[in-house]
Structure 1
């Protein structure tokens, strides 16, 4: 692999459209390699989960703990 190509792991290496799509999007020649579909899925999910977590700031997260209030409501409802 060099600056004119990109290596892509695919579940179906016989799908010629993949290489064409990669070339059109990246402007580079696609080197297609076979990979286990489950492994591809796992790595994609892991990558995007890591990116989502990196993009999340403390301002985006609000922790709400009203479990004691909920328990009181549940106990009251159970008695009725």
Structure 2
């Protein structure tokens, strides 16, 4: 586990885990520095792949995550 990651202290079932990453500990260069996980923002795809592999290795993930594209706005889509 990366020391910069945030693990919530919440009353969830034992089989439910969560973590939030920070920008520290990855290989991407500015302006995506350094732990960018988004493949849709213009970062080098090789860096994103390495960062995602690091998350999988250090985060103890049970499998490959499903990656989504986060969009900020007020419109709700079905």
- Report if TM-score (shorter chain) is over 0.5: no
TM-score by length of 1: 0.26
| Higher relative helix content | 1
Instruction: State the TM-score, normalizing by the size of structure 2.
Output: 0.27
Q: Radius of gyration: which is bigger?
A: 1
The answer to which structure has the higher strand fraction is 1
- Identify which of structures 1 and 2 has the higher relative contact order when contacts are C-alpha pairs closer than 8 Å and 6+ apart: 1
